[in-house]
Chain A
Amino acid sequence: MKGLAGRIIGVIVVLIGVVALIFVMLRIIPGDPASVLLNEHVSQANIDRLTRTMGLDRSLPEQFFGYLAGVLHGDFGRSYYIQQPVSNLIMEALPFTIKLTLLSIAFAWTFGIISGVASAMYNEHIIDYLFRGAALLGISVPVFMVALLLQYIFYFRLSIFPLTYDGSFASLILPAIALGWNSAGSIARLMRSELMEELDAPYMDTAKAKGLSYRKAVLVHALRNAALPVISLMALQLSGMLSGAVITESIFSIPGLGKLALTALQTRDMPLLQGTVLFTAFLIALGNICADLINTLLNPRLRTG
């Protein structure tokens, strides 16, 4: 329990650090939100007027502590650009990102584990080569190329899936594959190598000698032992996925958090960017804690340690 409380304090410290970091960086970054808003029809007088309205003429510490105080009261400020409370915008975008991330995690895990197990069991067989080839493509091709190829093959050539997100479940499948393939590849490779090691372990011979079928031996014993490192890897991948979502959401026009953060950054919409980054960091921290809990549950040795 003490461990958990420590973790939570750590998370809070980290989240404040994230806000501070983004806050400072955004003030160094060139590009003034007032200029972006006014765009082409610009004059110095208008810029000055707008800067005052946004409160950007206040001192930095004043702005920072003002923001922190707001956040503690659940007020993340208003977006400069979209003129709505940041929390509303995040809540609007969140479901899309959650759907996309869950689906791509599902894809990565299913594909990664199945192909890892299959290639370990059918070592050096054609099945092994096919699955390993797919895994290798996933880890070596940039996400955006995978996304474009998927669009080309499954929309343009085969007309199976929609080109971009249109609200339907089917239109989330291609982005989920594009986003999850890289993780799937890593999981498959790790699963395969862990499992191969387990299959060589002496206890497998014992298991077989005891009369367990090969398949059952793999599933019951080897898989359980091989699972631990794989689960740790899966937890680490959440951050990578939220990062990859920036590109995937752009290509497939998904109105999620990644796209929101990208717009916020491009328009120097400081409240919105601070809000989205803070929220994403929170999600990642949550993911890490969950992974730790799962690890502890699965591995009794860690519980005492």
Chain B
Amino acid sequence: MTGGGFRAGIPVGRLALMAYVLLMLALLAFPIGLLVVASFQGGMKSTSGLDGWSLSAYAAVPPDYWGALWFTVECAFLATALVFVVAIPAAWGLVRGNLRERRFVSALVLLPDSVPSITLGIALLALFVPLGLSNSFAGIVVALTVTSLSLALRFTEALLEGVPEELEQAAVTMGASRVTAVVTVVLPLLAPGLAIAALFIFVQNLVAFELLLFIAGPRATPISVRLFTDIVDRGVLPQAIAMSAILVYIGIAFHTLVAMTVGARYLAGSTMSRKG
């Protein structure tokens, strides 16, 4: 293999290292595999043997779980669209204007990421209750938008720096306004990169949990919060396990999609933060 072996002779150290790595990864994969297996056994009744495989847990998933899942998708989608509406002009201004406050703005939008979710959640709740935004679709979209702003801005800034300013200037020289030049020349060049960034941010919004716990309520329940309140109030339900397994399939689908579009190495090294 590549990477240079251990010293000649029986590679005991190397074999032990490989065994350790495989063991660790197996331990990490085991609980999730268990969840998927349990979802096909109608709950947690018969976890031994292959008999009793059924889809009953999936059939028992109540409509309000599907509603919560769809609600989460809608919020995540809208927040992803909104964050780019805000981030693309900002990134363009910061990169092309070469503004002195660039570092300050980066630090400012990074603030929601560096403050713990629980604190930001409580703070947003304190602000949203008088505004009537808590326990609402709009409140959740706003919360998701602000927490993904730093990621969107960083992605867009990096992409913009790869597009030569001369292209824009050429369009302006030929009579286009600067905004037209950006929309017709720069944005199409950014589009593939932005699509990947949007995919990352969408997934992050889809799995957001601890922050939303404070803002969510009976009228606005993302699926993660719903599963959480169910396990706290009613214990482990078969239909909740089935829904968790469905979320695992969605995660695997996203992983496959990202791995196919950008290559798996980005997934290993990416600093996509996951809080709670």
Whether A and B are associated in the same complex: the answer reads no
Q: Could you list which residues of chain A lie within 8 angstroms of chain B, going by C-beta atoms?
A: none
